[in-house]
């Protein structure tokens, strides 16, 4: 499977996943750029009522992983997260964050993605880098 729309439909049809639990949706999906949104609701809050850093990281890795899938044949390869880091720059307790993932390196066995999460006003909430390993199935 290599068709971007088919990959998105497959992901959305998986049922109860972290992506569906957090309300993550993907709007733009090309090999050069993946854009998605995640609502900031109590499901993604930490105890102080603000966006949990782990939820931001999960959102960032979701975008990078989806982008990674667009660069491989999923019948023969399995892209998996290898490493992720994040800097949390602003706290938010409500609204919607938009994430944009762009590839910095697409190799045969690894990929590196840069992800920026922004609030509705365009302010950076989190910046992240995610390394994806590409393994044979």
Strands (E), the chain: 25-30, 33-40, 77-88, 95-106, 110-118, 124-136
CATH number for 60: 3.10.129.10
Residue 131 main-chain phi, psi, to 5 deg: -100, 130
The Cα 89–Cα 110 span in angstroms is: 27
pLDDT of residue 5: 77
Judged against a pLDDT cut of 90, whether residue 3 lies above it is answered with no
Rounded distance between C-alpha atoms, residue 83 and residue 130, angstroms: 6
Given the residues 16, 61, 94, 120, select the one marked as catalytic: 61
DSSP bridge partners of 14: none
Q: Residue 119 belongs to what domain range?
A: 4-136
What per-residue confidence (pLDDT) applies to 1?
56
Identify whether the C-beta of residue 51 lies closer than 8 Å to the C-beta of residue 97: yes
pTM confidence score: 0.92
- Rounded mean pLDDT of 117-132? 98
- The reply to whether 120 belongs to the active site is no
Residue 7: what pLDDT?
75
Span 55-77, average pLDDT: 95
Per the structure, the count of domains in the chain is 1
Do residues 110 and 133 touch, judged by C-beta distance below 8 A?
yes
């Amino acid at each position: 499977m290599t068709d971007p729309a088919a990959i998105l439909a497959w992901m959305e049809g998986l049922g109860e996943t972290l992506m569906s639990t957090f309300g993550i949706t993907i709007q733009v999906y090309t090999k050069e750029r993946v854009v998605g949104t995640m609502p900031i609701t109590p499901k993604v809050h930490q105890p102080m009522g603000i966006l949990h850093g782990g939820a931001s990281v999960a959102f960032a890795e979701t975008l990078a992983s989806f982008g990674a899938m667009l660069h491989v044949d999923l019948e023969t390869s399995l892209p998996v997260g290898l490493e992720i880091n994040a800097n949390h720059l602003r706290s938010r307790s409500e609204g919607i964050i938009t994430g944009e993932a762009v590839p910095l390196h697409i190799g045969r066995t690894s990929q590196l993605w840069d992800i920026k999460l922004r609030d509705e006003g365009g302010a950076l909430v989190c910046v992240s880098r995610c390394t994806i390993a590409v393994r044979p199935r």
